[in-house]
Amino acid sequence: MKKVGVALLGLGTVGGGTYKILTKNRDDIKKNYGVDLEIRHILEKDMSKVKALGANPDIVSCDINNILKDPEIKIVAEFFGGIEPAKSFLVQCLLAGKSIVTANKEMFSQYWHELESAAKKGKAGVYFEASCVGGVPVIRTLTESMQGNNIKCIMGIVNGTTNYILSKMADEGLEYETVLKEAQKLGYAEANPTADVDGYDSMYKLSILSSLAFHTKVPIDKIYREGISNISKLDIEYGKKFGYTLKLLAIGKKENGKIEARVHPAFIPSDHPLAAVKESFNAVHIVGDNVGDIMLYGRGAGDLPTGSAIVSDIVFASLQSKHKYSSFKNNTDKVSDRGFNKDFQCEYYMRLTVKDVPGVIASISAKLAKFKISINSIQQKVEGDKASVIFMLHRTSESSVKKAVEAIKEVDTVYSVDAIIRVEE
C-alpha cells in the first residue's frame, strides 16, 4: 500500500472540510485507490479550530519549516486565501519537491506561472481543481476529457453569491440592496462583498478556465469585468417579458483565432440550461467543436463540496508518476493584445427614461442608426409626463453601443440611460 504524507495550510471553512473528508474517508480511499493518505502536519494558529475538529495538536504548528523538513510529506494543500503568505509558502514547498493543491483562485490566477516554474524545478505538481466552481469537476474535464475537441466557448455561473442575489431578485421581485443584506445575514455574502458582486471572483476563475480551454494564457487584465450592483428589479422584470433570465456570466470564446473573455450581467434565453441554475449553485456550459454542448452543475462553494475537490486532487496527485504542466507558454512575459478581441459583439437591452413627447423615439433611433445599430423591438411604459423605453438591439459591437449611448445622452428629450445589459443567445 502506497503511503503519502499530507500537510494542510489552514483549517478554515474549506481546510476543515478537507480534514473531515480525509479522516472520514481514509479507509475508503485506501480500498478504492490503493493509497493511504496520512495528515502529518497542519499549519494553524487558532487552536480552537483544531479542537473543534478533534485533530491531534501534536501535529499542529505555525512554522512552515516543519512541513518543508518532513520527507514523508509529499502533498501540501493550502487554504489561507489571499496572496501572502500563501504564495511564498507554496513556492517553498514546490522547490522542496512537494506537490501542492489549492483552491486559491486570486493567488493562482495571478501567480500560476511562478508556481509552475517552482514546480518544474522541484519536480513537483500543481493541482487546482477546487479553484474554480467548488466541487464541480470542470478543471479535470478541460484537462483530461476534451482532447478530441477545440473548445469554442466556455460560459458559466461561477459565483454563488451573485447567483443567489439575482435568483432572489427574480423570484421575489426584490431590489439588489435588500437581497444583498439578506445574503450577508445568511452568510452567502461577505461583510465586504466587493470581490463577489463586482465580478472579481468570477474574473479570477475565468482567467484560469479560459487559459485551459483555449491553451493560451489569459491574464486578468485581458478580461472585461462588470458587476451586478447597478442591476434593478425593473430590468429583471422587463427581461422576463422578452423571455430572458439575468445571470452574472463568465464568458470565454474563441472565434477567428482570437479570444474574448468577459464577466458581466447578461440576459440569456429562459430555456437555456444556465437559466435554471438557482440560488448559490454554479454551472459551466462548454461547447466543443466535436462533442457539442456539455453542462456541469453543482455546488460552487462550501466546506464539503470544495473539500471534495481538494481531496480529489490530493488522490489524483498521489497517483501520478509524472506531473503535467501547462499546455501553453506560462511565464512572466507580457501577453500581447493581438490575440484578444476586446470589442466583442452581442445583442443588447437598453432602458431609458424620456419625456413623453412626439418624436422622442425617432430621435433615439436616429442616434442608433448613426452607429449602424438596428432595433429588434421596442417597449414603453408611460408614467405622467415621462416614459420608460426599452430597446432590444440586434447584434452589434461593444464600441458602437458605447458611442451610441453617449450620443443618446445628448438628446434633450432623454432624461437618462438607465441600463445597458448584454444578451447572450
Question: From CA 79, how far away is CA 88, in angstroms rounded?
Answer: 13
Question: From CA 323, how far away is CA 38, in angstroms rounded?
Answer: 21
Question: What does the block give as the cell for 273?
Answer: 440550461
* DSSP secondary structure, 279-297, as one string: TTEEEEEEEETTTEEEEEE
Within 13 Å, how many C-alpha atoms sit on residue 318's CB side? 27
Residue 205 appears among annotated catalytic residues: yes
Q: Which of 343, 161, 349 is nearest to 267 (CA)?
A: 349
Residue appearing with cell numbers 507558454: 329
* DSSP secondary structure, 329-365, as one string: --SSSPPPGGGB--S-EEEEEEEEEEE--TTHHHHHH
Three-point CA angle 391, 393, 396, nearest 5°: 150
CA 206 vs CA 19, 106, 131, 370: distances in Å: 28, 11, 10, 34
Question: From CA 107, how far away is CA 164, in angstroms rounded?
Answer: 25
Enumerate the β-bridge partners of residue 156: 250, 284
Angle between helices 160-172 and 176-186 (to 10 degrees): 130
SS3 30: helix
Question: From CA 230, how far away is CA 226, in angstroms rounded?
Answer: 10
Question: From CA 327, how far away is CA 194, in angstroms rounded?
Answer: 32
Q: Which of 270, 242, 261, 252 is nearest to 348 (CA)?
A: 242
Instruction: Indicate which residue of 49, 98, 168, 205 is catalytic.
Output: 205
Q: Which of 417, 374, 422 is nearest to 398 (CA)?
A: 422
Mind telling me the catalytic residues? 205
